[in-house]
């Protein structure tokens, strides 16, 4: 049995913030020389501090890998937690500085296209009415990009469609409302005026879909196959509504939009909704954040603004 007493003693009495920074730098740079240059210390000083840590804890944290070094399993474990500690300390520093200067805080939010022109502008208006000094950073992108940014702590929240198959133990999801997807095409497309439209009428037509790795893309391809259609060969992968709508205005291209967005464009005479049942393809709109990283006061405040905006928008959809 491994004696864990040295680990407990070292963590309780000797482990310092400088050690955590050293571990993270060694993991990122993977050479003592580069870490020494970054930290403005000598290479022997880096080696000595690492050696003291390994001796104090009683396990090897790094091992040789060619001309550099790489973490051992024990090292990877400690580095993962070191990143979390340093991130939380940085957040605490930012929040306390914001409170001291009266700026209240900063929130970084990743948004998906389904909310970019609906609840986000309303939520921002609500936030700024009561908290004008909160700095709000809004970034758009694909689901995978946003989830990666959330894992790395680059954003605090994701607002968009939530997919149960993407759920993970470290993520928290909150459903806000349903805004189902519909198939749309140009109002000039003969399909838009066809009676008794069937799935086979869509066979071999060009599409605009989200990126291939996204759940919506895969679900749509499976749905087409289930209804006997060939896999589309003329496909544009895009999540940009400003790009997609002009392309959809040129028949015979098809695409997917949220019902709320589609209704607006139908009312403008630009697009037409095709009356085909998408079954379980749609997913609800909601918020995603990580359980392992506490949200700042500013982030929680913006969550409340999102909830208020969503309730208003949900009532509008119902009516």
CATH (domain of 121): 3.40.190.10
DSSP annotation string for 173-200:
EEEEE---EEEEEETTSGGGG-TT--GG
| Mean pLDDT, the chain, whole residue set | 88
In this structure, the answer to whether residues 307 and 296 fall within a common structural domain is: yes
Name the DSSP letter for residue 210. Answer: S
Residue 74 covered by a domain: yes
Please check whether residue 97 lies inside any domain of the structure: no
279 assigned to some structural domain: no
Tell whether 22 and 68 lie within a shared domain. yes
Kindly state whether residues 160 and 22 are assigned to the same domain: no
Is 231 a domain residue?
Answer: yes
Strand, helix or coil for residue 103: coil
Q: How confident is the model at residue 164 (pLDDT cuts 50, 70, 90)?
A: low
Residue-number span of the structural domain to which 292 is assigned:
105-178+284-318
205-261 pLDDT, tens digit each: 999 999 888 888 989 999 999 999 999 999 999 988 889 999 999 999 999 998 888
Question: Are 56 and 173 part of one and the same domain?
Answer: no
* Number of domains into which the chain is organized: 3
Q: Is residue 96 part of a domain?
A: no
What does the pLDDT read at residue 202? 97
Backbone conformation region of residue 18, classed left if phi is above 0, alpha if psi is from -120 to 50, else beta? alpha
Phi-psi region of 228 (alpha: psi -120 to 50; beta: other; left: phi over 0): left
244 and 267 part of one domain: yes
List, for residues 170-196, the tens digit of each pLDDT value.
Answer: 889 999 999 889 999 999 999 999 989
Sheet of strand 285-290, all strands in order from the earlier edge strand to the far edge: 135-140, 106-111, 157-161, 285-290, 171-177
Domain for residue 205, yes or no? Answer: yes
What is the pLDDT at residue 2? 54
* 8 A C-beta contact, residue 260 and residue 266: no
The CA-atom distances, in angstroms, between 148 and each of 112, 154, 158, 163 are 14, 9, 11, 15
Are 173 and 185 within one domain? no
The whole-angstrom separation of Cα 178 and Cα 80 is 36
Cβ–Cβ under 8 Å, residues 310 and 162: no
My answer on whether 203 and 230 are in the same domain is: yes
Residue 18: phi, psi to the nearest 5?
A: -65, -35
Residues 122 and 269 in one domain: no
Whole-number Å distance between alpha carbons of 20 and 86: 8
**At 221, which CATH number?**
3.40.190.290
Question: CATH code at 24?
Answer: 1.10.10.10
pLDDT, tens digit (0-9, with 9 covering 90-100), for 60-78: 999 988 888 999 999 999 9
Same-domain check for residues 164 and 219: no
DSSP 223-275: HHHHTTPPPPSSEEE---HHHHHHHHTSTT-EEEEEHHHHHHHHHTTSEEEE-
Same domain flag for 288 and 149: yes
Whether pLDDT at 1 is above 60: no
* Span 76-89, average pLDDT: 87
Is residue 26 one of the residues assigned to a domain?
Answer: yes
Q: Are residues 168 and 290 in the same domain?
A: yes
Q: Where would I find the beta strands (DSSP E) of 59-116?
A: 62-65, 68-71, 106-111
Q: How far is 300 from 237, CA to CA, in rounded Å?
A: 34
Which pLDDT does position 309 carry in this prediction?
Answer: 95
Which of 238, 253, 274 represents a domain boundary (last residue)? 274
Same domain, 229 and 297: no
- Per-residue pLDDT tens for 286-295? 999 998 888 8
Number of H helices, E strands in the chain: 12, 12
Segment 11-15 mean pLDDT: 79
Is residue 113 within 8 Å of 243, Cβ to Cβ?
A: no
Q: Does residue 100 fall inside a structural domain?
A: no
């Amino acid at each position: 049995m491994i004696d864990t007493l040295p680990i407990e003693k070292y963590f309780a009495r000797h482990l310092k913030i400088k050690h955590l920074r050293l571990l993270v730098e060694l993991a990122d740079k993977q050479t003592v020389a580069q870490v020494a240059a970054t930290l403005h210390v000598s290479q022997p000083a880096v080696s000595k501090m690492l050696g003291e840590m390994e001796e104090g804890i009683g396990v090897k944290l790094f091992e040789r890998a060619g001309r550099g070094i790489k973490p051992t399993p024990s090292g990877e474990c400690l580095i993962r937690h070191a990143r979390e500690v340093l991130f939380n300390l940085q957040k605490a520093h930012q929040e306390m500085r914001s409170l001291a200067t009266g700026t209240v805080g900063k929130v970084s939010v990743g948004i998906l296209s389904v909310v970019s022109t609906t609840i986000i502008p309303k939520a921002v208006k609500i936030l700024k009415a009561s908290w004008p000094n909160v700095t709000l950073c809004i970034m758009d992108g694909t689901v995978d990009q946003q989830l990666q940014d959330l894992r790395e702590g680059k954003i605090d929240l994701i607002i968009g469609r939530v997919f149960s198959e993407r759920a993970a133990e470290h993520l928290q999801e909150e459903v806000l409302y349903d805004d189902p997807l519909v198939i749309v095409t140009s109002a000039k497309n003969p399909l838009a005026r066809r009676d008794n439209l069937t799935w086979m009428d869509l066979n071999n037509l060009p599409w605009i879909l989200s990126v291939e790795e996204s759940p919506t893309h895969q679900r749509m391809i499976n749905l087409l196959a289930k209804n006997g259609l060939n896999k589309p060969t003329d496909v544009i992968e895009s999540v940009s509504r400003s790009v997609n709508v002009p392309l959809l205005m040129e028949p015979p291209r098809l695409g997917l939009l949220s019902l709320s967005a589609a209704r607006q464009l139908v009312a403008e005479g630009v697009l037409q909704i095709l009356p085909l049942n998408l079954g379980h393809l749609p997913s609800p709109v909601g918020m995603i954040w990580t359980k392992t990283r506490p949200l700042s006061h500013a982030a929680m405040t913006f969550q409340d603004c999102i909830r208020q905006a969503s309730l208003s928008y949900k009532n509008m959809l119902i009516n």
